[in-house]
Structure 1
Amino acid sequence: MTTAIAEEFETHRSRLFGLAYRMLGSAEEAEDTVQDAYLRFSGADRDGIEHPAAWLAKVVTNLCLSRLTSARARREQYVGPWLPEPVITSDGTLGPLESAEQRDAVSLAMLVLLERLTPTERAVYVLREAFGYGHREIAEALELTEANCRQLYRRAVQRVGEPRSRFESSPERQEELVASFVAAARDGDLARLEKLLAADVVWSSDSGGKVSAARRPVEGREKVSRFVLGVTQKFLAGVDVAAVEINGAIALAAWAGDTLLWVAAFELRDGLITHARAVMNPDKLDFVRRQLARA
């Protein structure tokens, strides 16, 4: 019986992880949440679970709501900019990302926007947008009225803003642009680097105060260019940098031997880099490090 339960649960694990990750912005916490859901599933009365997928989604959503309350308090004390934990998506960890809309839904940029929402608004938005739940299904999962869910969804959409594609360029063009960025930075070519950046470009670094990094976002083409050149000259000697797909976007992973130093995902518009988000906090790199080790 235990084996059958475990096998049944495994058919839902990937979807549940995707739900928890979008809710929490943390791959490590998403894994823990899914494991908690498994323990509840394995100990539940089978006769009381008519639709396992819906039952598990409800359990995971409510576990996430509990975690989000304490996460908000921790993030208020966070040192410097907070970014979600990165996830390699080229291996299907967050499901198929075949369209710009699907990639945008799991982007670091979108996950940052979701931080604007209350936990319940976030649950409604994620279940509706990412998983296609109807308002009646969402109401049942959250034990709210359907009218309340509709109101929460409208408020969430207003707070997140109008959807727009952050991946207008083809994957090949994205990789070409980021390769040019790395080459210009390595060569110390300021003029060439500036040509790759939008005038209002922003560079955000998430270190949690655990490694040296800018405590505030760097804004503007000139400041970002000089910041990148300074960091490259000071810290990238002997470091290997490789292109990877992080949260549906072209990104860079920097290694010093077997140590993953950071990953940086790039948001593009009109063929230029508009935002770079570098995750440097070692605690936030464990999941992606394990993914890369298996590749």
Structure 2
Amino acid sequence: MHDTDWLAERFEEQRPRLTGVARRMLGSASEADDAVQEAWLRLSRTDAEAIDNLGSWLTTVLARVCLNVLQSRRVRSEVPLDGDLSEPAADPAEAADPEQEALLAESVGLALLVVLDALSPAERVAFVLHDMFGVPFEEIAPIVGRNQAAARQLASRARRRVRREDASGEADRVRQAKLVEAFLAAARDGEFERLLGLLAPDVVLTADASAARIGVARELRGAEEVGGFCRYARGATPALLDGDAAVVWLRAGRPRVVYRFTARDGRIAAIELIADPERLAALDLVVLGG
């Protein structure tokens, strides 16, 4: 077998794991696929015979690519890039148990992604690599540019926020994410009564002029009317909009209409449909995987 074919075959053996790592780090399926492709390009330009552990090497390269992507996203003021590393080292007893690690590794739900999106890039990389995929801190440290103790602290701080011990600021976002996830599931399954149960009785749906031009009413009021329209959301995709759970309808892979939600008392109180191209281009939008 030609050397290139041999290398490509070995890479394909690693692709499922690499894709899982990238999707949990980035949330966005398209960005994750791009990151995995970049890892392949870097491997193809490297002397593979000099690599002792291909899986570890690829994970390290992929993590650095993902870290660069995360750092290039708009940094929210409430989440400093580096954070305070003066806190005590993490207690080993604080580490997630194997059952929890397995659960987290399988989960890419909106609620988890909302919390991960609130972490600094370094926290997110350290947490995903260690708690979800078991990468040791000695390998994580050079990826995030820290020593082992500091890398452990990054994961520890992220773990507390994911467990919501230190997540008062994300609590509302997490509740809304679960609500939006249920909304999208009900629309996809065609469960109208369940969809109605997620909407406040006086829910209001508004649409901008661009959305109206593609056939959406400028305003709908009440759970029955709004629920009837929202059944069309069955073809939409989950997203993060300014860090909050949202839904986006894609056309040819590009956002065409974004659903922005407002929750109140455990139900959806308002939905805004955004379709104006200039507004869409200005949004801090991350389209998520399925």
Contact 2:19 2:32 (C-alpha < 8 Å) held by counterparts: yes
**Are 2:138 and 1:136 aligned?**
yes
Tell me which of 21, 27, 40 is aligned to 2:23. Answer: 21
Aligned Cα root-mean-square deviation (Å): 5.5
> Which residue identity is paired with 1:110?
L
> Which residue identity is paired with 1:182?
F
% same residue: 33
State the partner residue of 2:192: 182
TM-score of the aligned structures, taking structure 2 as reference length: 0.56
CA distance in 1, matches of 2:187, 2:274: 22
- State the 1:136 CA deviation: 2.5
Contact 2:130 2:136 (C-alpha < 8 Å) held by counterparts: yes
- State the 1:72 CA deviation: 2.0
State the partner residue of 2:53: 51
Higher relative contact order at CA 8 Å, sep ≥6: structure 1 or structure 2? Answer: 1
> Which residue identity is paired with 1:9?
F
- State the 1:184 CA deviation: 6.0
State the partner residue of 1:64: 66
CA distance in 2, matches of 1:16, 1:37: 9
Contact 1:240 1:255 (C-alpha < 8 Å) held by counterparts: no
State the partner residue of 1:10: 12
TM-score of the aligned structures, taking structure 1 as reference length: 0.55
- State the 1:126 CA deviation: 0.5
> Secondary structure of the residue that 1:133 maps to in structure 2?
coil
Contact 2:18 2:36 (C-alpha < 8 Å) held by counterparts: yes
CA distance in 2, matches of 1:20, 1:33: 7
Instruction: Give 1:204-215 correspondences, 5 Å limit.
Output: 212=211
- State the 1:110 CA deviation: 0.8
Instruction: Give 1:57-136 correspondences, 5 Å limit.
Output: 57-72=59-74, 101-103=104-106, 105-136=107-138
Contact 2:129 2:140 (C-alpha < 8 Å) held by counterparts: yes
> Which residue identity is paired with 1:231?
V
State the partner residue of 2:226: 231
Contact 1:17 1:34 (C-alpha < 8 Å) held by counterparts: yes
- State the 1:31 CA deviation: 1.1
**Are 2:163 and 1:161 aligned?**
yes
State the partner residue of 2:149: 147
**Are 2:25 and 1:30 aligned?**
no
- State the 1:21 CA deviation: 1.6
Contact 1:49 1:55 (C-alpha < 8 Å) held by counterparts: yes
Contact 2:211 2:257 (C-alpha < 8 Å) held by counterparts: no
Contact 1:37 1:59 (C-alpha < 8 Å) held by counterparts: yes
Contact 1:58 1:142 (C-alpha < 8 Å) held by counterparts: no
Instruction: Give 1:246-285 correspondences, 5 Å limit.
Output: none
